[in-house]
Chain A
């Protein structure tokens, strides 16, 4: 069972950047489609929670509803067999997506670092635990240690508290000095002041520890206690969950597959968000980790450029301001060297293939490690262990090949050139209203 669609502007990723790009392009009258691998739009930040809604999100959701954007939720892009044609898989369907111009807005994922016991059940990513709660996990009355680095920790701790969890401590690895600089930067941004104030209220009663990180998670068959390092001293904290993530890494697998130039791990774009390939644009976290404001600014500029229109000076100023914030984020939440020494020799770095730290240490490159230990060869395709290995060993990742996400063999085998041409395209009257809760 397959379908095929054709767009003037195709947007991959329906988080803030993607939505902004799609709306701007569609409001200019070109045929726009937006794809997301999740069945609900909004991306990690805006999805599934009216309690998460601020004014900006509601405004953009409404604009998306009103704009004539064809939405394709629940479809995962895995390949580009020929230029201008993407293949996406959903539960049991293959979808062919043709585009004249592409906006890649694939967002970011959490960075995870290994430490003893990190594979125990009930140790999750920070965003990971939040997602579980959004998916129905009861958290009221549970004790959750939040640890790692980045502003996401604050948002997660606040969210968990709001849903009745106890958060005995939030461990932020950054030193106080850098955090003070971050706070100053926040204060100079009007929208961020209100965000910060709201968070402060929500976080009353949470012990915030800078210079702090997890040393180990303990438990028989699931988490029972977390040992943290707190200003040089170790402390044991009994808890039900550990929500642990070390900021974000960009999802650049698709741009890599498409051949876009990557610079220091991010997609290189020019002033109009155009990549090294003239009909491919990129917006949001894949160009720099910068949060919602940067995503919205870049998304709008990309959507306009992809539909052949110029962005306003105001948008460029917004982007510049947001980029300053992104640089502050980057400086503030740099990972400290102590984190390289967290794993013990037996700690698994690759969770898919259970490859321990001791086996990886002996290899000189990511490629050698992959070949000889299978690290990175599992279904996560290195999304979890790759960023960890990069940090631990200074390895550079290597190239990507299709499929950039595991896919059913029948979909990898689906269409050769002759079959591809035979599929009729979906016609204009199939535009549906976007599905965003």
Chain B
């Protein structure tokens, strides 16, 4: 008898894998989640936990907006340690050119039903007194939020487990495909469906998946309640996220519910080691101090790094992996894993279950990247 104990095996217990497991379990499927470390220990542990609607492309907007609304709906059920806080995002404009971008963004969001508020220089100063003077203004997106990702992942896994999902930690997947997952401790499992949600490690598991590691740095301070009220991002962030080849830093700070300030952000290609890169760290912090001089006197308690999973077209891979009928991808989320995790799970499971996804899924299908895929 060849009956598998599971309908689906989710490889990766980060925020995306957790969301997928939760979704599959909610639809009555028998789920196994495997992870080589602990829940939420990869990019999920390293990221900022920012839930943000983005407008780089219509596809990015659709996914982030859908997912942000799912988070909002989920909020009342979230455990306290998820620390969900709807503090909103302010996109800060340093000059007239960036202010024009504020107007463009405002029109884009407003026409799609996302509440926004344009802030002039005075309003911006009032909202965020620690920002340097002389800023042009900004765009407030009040429905954006922040949370603490490892606990969010754990919450979602917990819900899946309550519906019978199994969690297996401490062994990495060494081969996946054709309905089989082999782990480093020798275990072999089978399921009709295997979901690869392994973030920056996905391309190690499945050669042919085009995912590159994009390293980031973060610094967290001691508690300074009231220092910062919203997630603050410079509009130059977009220039940084757009660049595909060079190392870049951008001003991006977040108030944690604890009152600690999270300071970012940086992006590097080709950096494989986890060590803090001092030059990048310095540049990142100096840029942050340009925007918020008062940051300089705060106490920095920890620094860390992480690897985002970046795809060539900056959109995630969500859907079937053509070379192998049993494989599905839910990976490549770059800096938007937290935001888009819930929608990723929805549209993935919709595709599998044959229900109609709420947004068009074509932009995220792995088949879009299939060039010469080796046949199984």
Contact = CB atoms under 8 A, between A and B. Distances in A.
Judge: A and B partners, yes or no: yes
Interface of A: 79, 81-82, 363-365, 367-368, 371-373, 377-379, 381, 401-403, 406-410, 412-417
Interface of B: 37-41, 45, 81, 150-151, 154, 169-170, 219, 221-222, 263, 275-276, 278-279, 281-286, 288-289, 295-304
Given A367-B37, A367-B41, A413 B299 contact: no
B303 A367 contact: no
Contacts of A409: 219, 221, 263, 285, 288-289, 295-300
A368 B37 CA distance: 9
A-B interface, 4 closest residue pairs, ranked by CB to CB distance from nearest: A413-B285, A410-B296, A368-B38, A81-B278
Nearest to B45: A371
B283 A416 contact: yes
A79 B263 CA distance: 19
Nearest to A371: B150
B41 A412 contact: no
Contacts of B263: 409
A412 B303 contact: yes
A406 B296 CA distance: 13
Given A371-B40, A371-B150, A412-B281, A401 B297 contact: no
Given A371-B45, A409-B263, A412-B219, A403 B297 contact: no
A373 B297 CA distance: 27
A368 B36 CA distance: 12
Nearest to B150: A371
Given A364-B38, A367-B38, A410-B297, A377 B302 contact: yes
Contacts of A79: 278
Contacts, number: 95
A371 B41 contact: yes
B80 to A, nearest CB: 12
Contacts of A403: 300, 302-303
Given A372-B81, A379-B222, 13 more contacts: A81-B278, A371-B38, A372-B40, A372-B154, A406-B300, A406-B301, A407-B300, A409-B221, A409-B263, A409-B298, A410-B296, A416-B279, A416-B282
B25 to A, nearest CB: 20
Contact of B285 (A363, A401, A412): A412
Nearest to B285: A413
Contacts of B284: 413
A161 to B, nearest CB: 38
A81 B154 CA distance: 35
Interface centre among B40, B278, B289, B304 (most CB of A within 10 A): B278
B302 A381 contact: yes
15 contacts: A364-B169, A368-B41, A372-B38, A372-B154, A401-B302, A402-B276, A406-B222, A409-B219, A409-B263, A409-B288, A410-B289, A412-B300, A414-B282, A416-B278, A416-B283
Nearest to B297: A408
Contacts of B219: 409, 412
A33 B148 CA distance: 44
Contacts of B170: 364
Of listed A364, A373, A410, residue having the most chain B CB within 10 A: A410
B201 to A, nearest CB: 17
A379 B223 CA distance: 10
Contacts of B298: 408-409
Contacts of B81: 372-373
B273 to A, nearest CB: 12
A416 B247 CA distance: 15
Contacts of A416: 278-279, 282-283, 286
Nearest to A363: B38
A81 B276 CA distance: 9
Nearest to B284: A413
Nearest to B44: A371
B276 A408 contact: no
Nearest to A410: B296
A289 B282 CA distance: 37
Interface centre among A406, A412, A413 (most CB of B within 10 A): A413
Contacts of B169: 364
A408 B285 CA distance: 11
A368 B222 CA distance: 21
Contacts of A368: 38-39, 41
Given A365-B38, A409-B300, A417 B279 contact: yes
A232 to B, nearest CB: 39
B325 to A, nearest CB: 35
Contacts of B281: 412-413
A373 B298 CA distance: 24
Contacts of B41: 367-368, 371
A412 to B, nearest CB: 5
B151 A401 contact: no
B36 to A, nearest CB: 12
Contacts of A417: 279
Contact of A408 (B282, B283, B299): B299
Nearest to A399: B274
B277 to A, nearest CB: 10
A297 B285 CA distance: 43
A384 to B, nearest CB: 14
Most A C-beta atoms less than 10 A away, residue of B45, B169, B288, B296: B296
B152 to A, nearest CB: 11
A381 B300 CA distance: 11
Contacts of A415: 282
A89 to B, nearest CB: 10
B306 to A, nearest CB: 12
Most chain B CB inside 10 Å of its own CB: which residue of A79, A365, A412, A414? A412
A365 B298 CA distance: 31
